[in-house]
């Protein structure tokens, strides 16, 4: 019996473009699948700062981004250059990290954090909150 709740989940992010920056292949696939199931258009996923910056510039001229999900640490490199560029463009983002709330977020300490492993519904809810009004 379908209570209609799956439709609500599917429609939550319809029309939203979300960048996924994650260096763990399995985790990036899970994030991508959950966002797609929620109706988002996923940009990426990519696993490096350079690839993420390249995608951001490409999408800036092709409709832009509504939000981003960023892993704090990409193969030992901080994601801060990506966060800097997104902030300069006014694109909201959250950090998905295994470091928890105490992980190093630098000047973006106020950015939302999803601690890995996280509930897929929590991911969709957090991205929906980021994209509200965008």
| Tens digit of each residue's pLDDT (9 = 90 or more) over 49-64 | 999 999 999 998 888 9
CATH number listed for the domain at residues 15-131: 3.40.50.2300
pLDDT at 120 over 70: yes
Banded model confidence at residue 102, pLDDT cuts 50, 70, 90: low
Sequence ranges of the domains in the chain: 15-131
Mean predicted confidence (pLDDT) in 16-23: 96
Instruction: Give exposure, 24-35, as e/b (b: 16+ Cβ within 10 Å).
Output: beebbebbbebb
The Cα–Cα gap between 120 and 40 comes to 14
pLDDT tens column, 65-87: 999 999 998 988 999 999 999 99
* Joined tokens for residue 22: 């994650």
Banded model confidence at residue 100, pLDDT cuts 50, 70, 90: low
């Amino acid at each position: 019996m379908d209570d209609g709740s799956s439709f609500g989940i599917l429609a939550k992010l319809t029309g939203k473009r979300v960048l996924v920056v994650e260096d763990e292949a399995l985790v990036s696939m899970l994030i991508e699948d959950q966002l797609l199931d929620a109706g988002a258009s996923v940009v990426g996923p990519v696993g490096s700062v350079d690839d993420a910056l390249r995608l951001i510039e490409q999408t800036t001229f092709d409709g832009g981004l509504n939000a981003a999900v960023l892993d704090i640490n990409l193969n030992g490199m901080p994601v801060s250059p990506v966060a800097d560029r997104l902030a300069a463009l006014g694109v909201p983002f959250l950090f998905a990290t295994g470091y928890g709330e105490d992980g190093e977020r630098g000047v973006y300490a106020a950015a939302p954090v999803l601690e890995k492993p996280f509930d897929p519904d929590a991911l969709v809810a957090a991205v929906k909150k980021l994209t509200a009004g965008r």
